[in-house]
Amino acid sequence: MPQETALVSGAAGFIGSHLAERLLHENFNVIGLDSFTDYYAREVKEKNVRTARAHPHFTFIEADLRTADLRALITRHNIRYIFHLAGQAGVRPSWGSDFQPYVERNILATQALLEAVVNLPAQSQIEKFVFAGSSSVYGDAERFPTSEDDLPRPLSPYGVTKLAAEHLCFLYAKQFGLPVVALRYFSVYGPRQRPDMWIHVFMDALLHGKTIRVFGDGEQTRELTYVSDIVNANLLALHAPNGAPHLYNIGGGTRATLNAVLEMLGEMASTQPRLEYVARAAGDHRHGAADISRAQHELGYEPRVALGEGLRKQYEWQREQIADGR
């Protein structure tokens, strides 16, 4: 029988749904919370969480972190671990009038959850609070690979709100002793990847015989991290040392240009991708590479899925979605 209960916010999302399933496999009770924001289709998220919903030790709650009675929820379900993955994603849409949801869902929602946690009764204290951060906080970093000690310089409003949420977590950790572990994810990919993310977009265009639009010259680099490696890092975070809040880069061990990824995808599809290069988008950083030595030494984290293997898994998944009419 499951011995511990974990809350996963954003449980119907790309990473959250994978994490919920892994926790169930590891014999946790899981409370999955999601508000089904309108950033992309609800039906996609419903499919993401379908497997977890069928599990007897999974409870799904549709709620907004800003308005839910989180203190009562945590107490009622005897939650001991929180994985906070909920938030408003997307670098390019975060400019202009669309900025407000980023403030509400990345900053205010995080603050509401933190307030609930630090006001719990003594018998309901949280043992670990794991925050899903983003490599977007680094912007155009001064050195590569980039370490956690390098100064964040986000290039997008999205990156600013993710950094603000991370700082809030550390503030509450230092003020109230909350056991926070923040993980800065680098370019996560794999099955269930959000439909707006560039690898998903590239594969979808390739599978439908459409022209692929590339922002910039395609020589920008990204550290690509397969979703199961991200999930492993979250589980390892539960064993982070107690005491001060902890921050870790989580990367996949492979840095590649967009052009190199396109070449690999063309080989998978046995075709030559049709490409259209357009101006670099506002907020896009030029290069990304993670120094993961801290996570390796303190958590025992090691990326396990090579880029070619991971891209093949996502490609096959997307191809199956099309074949099934999804």
Rounded to the nearest 10 degrees, the angle between the axes of helix 227-237 and helix 14-25 is 60
Alpha-carbon Rg for the chain, nearest whole angstrom, is 19
Distance, CA of 255 to CA of 305 (rounded, Å): 13
Active site residue 315: no
Distance, CA of 63 to CA of 85 (rounded, Å): 14
Residue by residue, DSSP assigns 72-133 as: HHHHHTT--EEEE------SGGGSGGGGHHHIIIIIIHHHHHHHHHHTS-GGG--SEEEEEE
Where do we find the tokens 């609930």? 116
Catalytic residue among 158, 226, 301, 315: 158
**278-314 CB burial, b ≥16 within 10 A, e <16:** eeeeebbbebbbbbbebbeebbebebebebeebbebb
Q: How many CA atoms lie within 13 A of 179 on its CB side?
A: 15
Residues contacting residue 128 through CB under 8 Å, at least 6 positions apart? 80, 81, 82, 179, 181, 237, 238, 240
Rounded to the nearest 10 degrees, the angle between the axes of helix 307-323 and helix 258-269 is 50
Which residues are known to be catalytic?
158
